[in-house]
């Protein structure tokens, strides 16, 4: 578990090369969610891992753990790893550029031509190596990732993500209409055939990475394709990720494309691709109808709330407090390159900021998100898509990141919540000095 950075910066750290299945403890100032309203703080505490599973947090090392290896991170903060519920790997290179477009124009002029490059496996490997390295270096320990429609490139992405040690769902994208020839599958038949080929090659192949069905969004998928994806879903017991109600023009377009559906959500729901026995993430959900909200609650469809993307693409601000109050599962997504930062920690601050503007400008009945609520979404909220992930409660996967704030000189002491808050708003990869996924250390 030793971390060279931690050792050099934190005198007294006992490094070791333990296995994920042996018990060990991390010591430091520990913060984690127990619910949206409960952000627990244990100063100078111990969080204990056995066989990759968290055994809980203790102010003193309990008797039964005396003698286990302990990595002392001293004054650093130890928090659960972040879950990114929505990120597009092929869009990573051009994040933070061409920021003057709305969704549909951005797809056509920037994203589709860029994604078409991934038909070239060499390019895909070069680009995805950069992406995987960034994911490894960041605070994300679980991610739901869009690839492109290309089978080979998506397998390269899965290989590279497996090497990072991060838990990931990765999707080969399905798209058989409304995009240029260079980035459109020839027919629903070929889309399904390629998807089956991809699934045969990847289901069960990895330790950390699994395939997820990924119809791009309704405008990109014919009814027939959606119907046949649902057949594949049942056959392979697959989760699903897609987009829902991000942008007003997009919603209007879906209305025209699917006049017989009862709204955008129903274009997935009518094929059984909308939660229930089929764990599903819908990114954005900026403009849901009351019917869609009720149905997402019923079917426990996850919302991937992507605040920065929703600003960058002029989409709007999702009423995420409403979803939390309804009991709809909500996590955060970076939506790179709709959003520009690949850090979910950064999205915590953005989610809070956007919720303030929504409160001020749109609807004063929905109060701004609290730090506790937004931190919960980034960890336990999104983590739930992966099972017991995103907390230090006993029984959760042992995913932890260790943050130092020694590079923020201060004229007076901060309490742990203020330290966490400042790291969320001002921190970057330099602040990350330790990272563990299912108890296994990820070398930074």
Contacts to its own copies by CB under 8 A: 93-100, 117, 123, 126-127, 130, 133, 311-312, 314-317, 340-341, 349, 352-354, 356-362, 368, 370-371, 409-412, 414, 418, 421-422, 424-426, 428
What H or E segment, with its residue span, contains residue 232?
A: helix 223-236
Shortest Å distance, C-beta 425 to its own copies:
3
Shortest Å distance, C-beta 428 to its own copies:
6
β-strand pairing of 330-332 with 400-403: unpaired
Torsions phi, psi for 365 (to 5 deg) = -80, -15
Q: Which is nearer to its own copies, 346 or 440 (CB)?
A: 346
Residues 253, 292 contacting (CB under 8 angstroms): no
| Eight-state DSSP code of residue 100 | T
Going by C-alpha positions, the residue among 75, 66, 144 that lies closest to residue 389 is 144
Place of tokens 């680009």: 127
Strand ranges for 245-396 from DSSP E = 280-284, 302-305, 330-332
Residues 186, 179 contacting (CB under 8 angstroms): no
Residues 308, 316 contacting (CB under 8 angstroms): no
Shortest Å distance, C-beta 44 to its own copies:
21
Q: Which is nearer to its own copies, 123 or 406 (CB)?
A: 123
Q: Which is nearer to its own copies, 230 or 377 (CB)?
A: 377
Going by C-alpha positions, the residue among 424, 417, 374, 385 that lies closest to residue 401 is 424
Q: Which is nearer to its own copies, 94 or 253 (CB)?
A: 94
Residues 30, 402 contacting (CB under 8 angstroms): no
* Residue 341 to residue 344: CA distance in whole angstroms: 8
Q: Which is nearer to its own copies, 259 or 409 (CB)?
A: 409
Shortest Å distance, C-beta 296 to its own copies:
23
DSSP-based three-state secondary structure for 244 = strand
Q: Which is nearer to its own copies, 203 or 357 (CB)?
A: 357
Residues 250, 217 contacting (CB under 8 angstroms): yes
Shortest Å distance, C-beta 271 to its own copies:
31
Q: Which is nearer to its own copies, 206 or 359 (CB)?
A: 359
Shortest Å distance, C-beta 403 to its own copies:
13
Strand ranges for 230-348 from DSSP E = 240-244, 280-284, 302-305, 330-332
Peptide bond into 170 cis (omega under 30): no
β-strand pairing of 214-215 with 209-211: unpaired
Shortest Å distance, C-beta 127 to its own copies:
4
Q: Which is nearer to its own copies, 259 or 411 (CB)?
A: 411
* Residue 103 to residue 313: CA distance in whole angstroms: 6
Shortest Å distance, C-beta 361 to its own copies:
5
Q: Which is nearer to its own copies, 19 or 414 (CB)?
A: 414
Shortest Å distance, C-beta 368 to its own copies:
6
25 strand-pairing partners: 48, 70
Shortest Å distance, C-beta 89 to its own copies:
12
Q: Which is nearer to its own copies, 169 or 287 (CB)?
A: 287
């Amino acid at each position: 578990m030793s971390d060279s950075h931690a050792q050099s910066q934190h005198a007294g750290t006992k490094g070791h090369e333990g296995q994920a299945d042996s018990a060990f403890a991390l010591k430091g100032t520990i913060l984690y969610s127990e619910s949206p309203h409960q952000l627990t703080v244990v100063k100078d505490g111990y969080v204990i891992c056995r066989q990759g599973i968290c055994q809980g947090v203790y102010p003193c090392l309990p008797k039964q753990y005396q003698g286990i290896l302990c990595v002392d991170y001293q004054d650093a903060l130890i928090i659960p790893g972040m879950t990114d519920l929505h990120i597009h790997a092929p869009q990573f290179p051009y994040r933070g550029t061409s920021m003057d477009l709305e969704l549909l124009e951005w797809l056509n002029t920037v994203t589709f031509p860029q994604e078409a490059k991934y038909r070239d496996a060499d390019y895909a490997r070069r680009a995805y190596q950069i992406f995987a390295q960034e994911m490894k270096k960041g605070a994300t320990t679980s991610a739901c990732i869009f690839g492109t429609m290309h089978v080979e490139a998506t397998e390269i992405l899965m290989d590279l993500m497996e090497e990072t040690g991060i838990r990931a769902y990765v999707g080969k994208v399905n798209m058989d209409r409304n995009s240029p020839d260079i980035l459109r599958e020839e027919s629903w038949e070929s889309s399904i055939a390629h998807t089956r080929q991809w699934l045969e090659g990847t289901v069960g192949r990895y330790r950390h990475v699994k395939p997820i069905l990924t119809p791009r969004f309704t405008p990109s998928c014919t009814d027939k394709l959606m119907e046949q994806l649902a057949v594949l879903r049942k056959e392979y017991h697959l989760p699903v990720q897609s987009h829902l109600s991000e942008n007003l023009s997009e919603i209007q377009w879906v209305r025209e494309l699917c006049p017989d559906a009862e709204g955008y959500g129903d274009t997935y729901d009518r094929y059984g691709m909308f939660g229930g026995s089929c764990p599903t993430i819908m990114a954005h959900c900026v403009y849901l109808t009351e019917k869609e909200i009720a149905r997402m609650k019923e079917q426990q469809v996850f919302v991937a709330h992507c605040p920065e993307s929703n600003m960058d693409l002029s989409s709007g601000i999702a009423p995420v407090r409403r979803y939390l109050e309804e009991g709809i599962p909500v996590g955060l997504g970076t939506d790179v390159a709709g959003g520009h930062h690949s850090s979910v920690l950064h999205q915590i601050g953005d989610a809070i900021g956007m919720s303030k503007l929504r409160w001020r400008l749109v609807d004063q009945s929905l109060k701004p998100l609290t730090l506790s609520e937004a931190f919960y979404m980034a960890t336990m909220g999104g983590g739930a898509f992966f099972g017991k992930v995103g907390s230090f409660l006993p029984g959760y996967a042992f995913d932890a990141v260790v943050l130092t704030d020694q590079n923020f000189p201060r004229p007076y002491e901060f309490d742990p919540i203020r330290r966490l808050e400042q790291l969320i708003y001002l921190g970057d990869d330099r602040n990350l000095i330790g990272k563990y996924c299912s108890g296994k250390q990820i070398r930074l």
